[in-house]
Amino acid sequence: MANIFNSISHQIVAQIQQPICLLLLQILLILVTSRVFGLLFSKFKQPAVIGEIVAGIFLGLSVFGNLFPHLFNFIFPTNSFNNLEVLSKIGLAFFMFIIGMELDLVALRKRAKSAFIISISSILIPLLLGIFLAYYLYTSFSMPNVRFSIFALFMGISLSITAFPVLARIVKARGMQKTELGTLALSAAAIADVIAWCLLAMMIALAKAGDFSIGLFTILSAIGYILAMFFIIRPFINNMIARLRSAHYGDQSIVLLSFILLLSSAFTAEIIGIHMLFGAFLAGVIIPQNEKLKHALTSKLEDVSELFLLPIFFAFTGLRLQISLLNTPYLWLISLLVIAMAMIGKFAGTTIPAKLTGMNWKDSFSLGAFMNTRGLMELVVLNIGYELHILSPELFAILVIMAILTTIITSPLLDLIEYLFKNKNLG
């Protein structure tokens, strides 16, 4: 009897270890954990995305992997991460396509100048502070054989990132995606992150090849790609949809055309080096401004993206994090310094130009809170720096904590700003 039981147990374990079974088990565990943490954090007026980030950390090496290492290695073996990564990025691409469709271009045109000025300033100020901070951290926290210029540029980029997908989810959760402030926040964040990714591409080129050619190619290609999307692809898509108007807007041909646009744009952006999510977002932006069409596409994508695929993206990076390296008061002091510099840079770099471009103080501070969101885009950048052996493990952990805390604090800051300016004429 015992032999039969052992045989059955071994057979079940062998089946679970099959790639498809393991993937299904991982997705199930991620979705349930993300939902539980999302509901828990909603009790504290945090958007579900924060719960999903914390769920990923909980399921990763820092908690679950530390408490139950054998079970963690069984459910999340390293060789299974590629499947989760691909699935999570597809989900993110669909979500960013939806956000792009909901961007109000009419409102954006009214604020185009402000969005550009704010985005440039929100990059420049924290970039300079990061370079200044690198001067003091270089000796203790850089890896051997890393030039100061590379380390300083990476520190500047790390403090400059705004997590566009997380910001988009926070804006959407607060019902602000069609307001002027929400549109400006999304627009400024999109422009700022394109610039930041171009700088990152240049930094990678310097770290690997020692010249600017690859970074310059990325910048020029990105400009050409954006212009082509607006002045060539957009008229083509409008013309194609006009030809399909004999069918209703939910017609499969129009939906398929939209999906082809989404995937082609994401593919092009990834090839250029500015990340697929910007390609997905831009594809949504150039979809014709027609409410019936947008509703038809959104209704087909939103639930699958937000409830099924997107939590996998936010949980995936958390699975690879280990933030138990900060074990001395000195390291925590450095952590506080980095967090303070990051927040000051983003707030000053956003709030001051926002006010100077004509916004009232309430909206200027709110925009500063939005742009201070870093989230998992920051974690993606940090992983690149870690893989290139630019950051020491300790500094990597410090910057990870900075990314998480500046994201978690966004909603409380917005609520505080709303409270302080309530019934007050402080514009």
Contact predicate 100/189, CB 8 Å:
no
Q: How confident is the model at residue 213 (pLDDT cuts 50, 70, 90)?
A: low
Among 21, 49, 76, where does a domain finish? 76
Is residue 270 located within the same domain as residue 203? Answer: yes
Q: Is the dihedral of CA 123, 126, 128, 130 positive or negative?
A: negative
**CB-based burial, 109-138: b 16+ in 10 Å, e otherwise:** eebeebbebbbbbbbbbbbebbbebbeebe
Q: How confident is the model at residue 336 (pLDDT cuts 50, 70, 90)?
A: very high
What span, in angstroms and rounded, lies between the C-alpha atoms of 334 and 354?
Answer: 30
Mean pLDDT of the chain: 80
Q: Which of 123-132, 249-258, 284-293 tops mean pLDDT?
A: 123-132
What is the pLDDT, as a whole number, of residue 254? Answer: 78
Is residue 144 located within the same domain as residue 257? Answer: yes
Is residue 27 located within the same domain as residue 58? Answer: yes
Is residue 189 located within the same domain as residue 71? Answer: no
**Segment 152-156 mean pLDDT:** 90
What is the pLDDT, as a whole number, of residue 125? Answer: 92
For 57-106, the pLDDT digits (tens) are 888 877 888 888 888 888 888 777 788 878 877 887 887 788 778 766 66
Is residue 203 located within the same domain as residue 232? Answer: yes
Confirm whether 388 is domain-assigned. Answer: yes
What backbone torsions phi and psi does residue 318 show, to the nearest 5 degrees?
-60, -30
- Alpha-helix runs per DSSP H in 209-286: 213-228, 234-243, 252-272, 276-285
What does the CA dihedral 139, 140, 141, 147 come to, rounded to 10 degrees?
10
Is residue 32 located within the same domain as residue 129? Answer: no
Confirm whether 381 is domain-assigned. Answer: yes
Q: What is the DSSP string of 207-223?
A: HHTSSSHHHHHHHHHHH
Is residue 92 located within the same domain as residue 71? Answer: no
Say whether pLDDT at 208 is over 80: no
The answer for residues whose C-beta is within 8 angstroms of residue 341's C-beta and 6 or more apart is 126, 129, 130, 133, 159
What is the pLDDT, as a whole number, of residue 117? Answer: 84
If one counts the domains in the chain, the total is: 2
Report which secondary-structure segment, H or E, holds 35: helix 19-42
What is the pLDDT, as a whole number, of residue 271? Answer: 84
What is the pLDDT, as a whole number, of residue 103? Answer: 66
Say whether pLDDT at 212 is over 70: no
What backbone torsions phi and psi does residue 161 show, to the nearest 5 degrees?
-70, 135
Is residue 392 located within the same domain as residue 314? Answer: yes
What is the pLDDT, as a whole number, of residue 104? Answer: 63
Say whether pLDDT at 340 is over 90: yes
Is residue 384 located within the same domain as residue 324? Answer: yes
Is residue 154 located within the same domain as residue 280? Answer: yes
Among 55, 76, 97, where does a domain finish? 76
**Segment 374-390 mean pLDDT:** 77
Contact predicate 29/74, CB 8 Å:
no
**Segment 42-49 mean pLDDT:** 73
Nearest CA to 25 among 59, 50, 58? 59
Q: Which of 191-205, 319-333, 395-409 tops mean pLDDT?
A: 395-409
For the chain, give the percent of residues with pLDDT over 70: 88
Nearest CA to 204 among 192, 194, 195, 213? 213
For 6-20, the pLDDT digits (tens) are 677 777 777 777 878
**Segment 28-46 mean pLDDT:** 84
**Segment 21-26 mean pLDDT:** 88
Structure tokens at 143: 């890896």
Confirm whether 426 is domain-assigned. Answer: no
What is the pLDDT, as a whole number, of residue 214? Answer: 65
Say whether pLDDT at 23 is over 90: no
Is residue 97 located within the same domain as residue 12? Answer: no
Is residue 218 located within the same domain as residue 364? Answer: yes
For 234-273, the pLDDT digits (tens) are 998 888 877 776 655 556 777 888 889 999 998 998 888 7
**Segment 182-191 mean pLDDT:** 81
Domain span including residue 32: 2-76
N residues, the chain: 427
What is the pLDDT, as a whole number, of residue 245? Answer: 63
The answer for residues whose C-beta is within 8 angstroms of residue 54's C-beta and 6 or more apart is 37, 41, 318
3-class DSSP state of 276? helix
Residue 290, Ramachandran bin (φ over 0: left; ψ between -120 and 50: alpha; else beta): beta
CATH number of the CATH domain containing 256? 1.20.1530.20
Among 76, 105, 136, where does a domain finish? 76
